Amino acid sequence: MEHIKFNRHIELAQFLRSRRERISPESVGIPRGNRRRTPGLRRGEVAMLAGMSLEWYTYLEQGRDIQVSSEVLESLVRVLQLDHNERRHLFILAHRQNPPEEKQPLTLINSSYQHFLNQLEYTPAYIIDERMNVLAWNKAFSAVYGDYSEKKERERNLVWVTFTSPYFRQIKGEHWEKTALHCLAQFRAGYAKFLEEDWWAQQISELSEHSEEFNILWKQQEIIYAPEGNKIINHPIAGILKFEYLAFQAVNSPELQVNINTPVNLETEGKVKMLSSLF
Same domain, 61 and 147: no
pLDDT in tens, 215-273: 888 887 776 666 668 899 999 999 999 999 999 888 777 788 999 999 999 999 999 99
Same domain, 56 and 118: no
228: in domain: yes
182: in domain: yes
Same domain, 110 and 90: no
Single out the residue in 49, 75, 95 at which a domain terminates: 95
48: in domain: yes
Single out the residue in 95, 126, 148 at which a domain terminates: 95
The per-residue pLDDT for 242 is: 96
pLDDT in tens, 48-72: 998 889 999 999 999 998 888 888 8
Between residues 120 and 188, which one has the greater pLDDT? 120
Contact indicator for 30, 41 with CB cutoff of 8 Å? yes
**Domain holding 12: CATH number?**
1.10.260.40
- How many domains does the chain fold into? 2
Between residues 27 and 274, which one has the greater pLDDT? 274
Same domain, 29 and 159: no
Q: Identify the domain containing residue 12 by its residue range.
A: 8-95
The per-residue pLDDT for 255 is: 81
Same domain, 133 and 255: yes
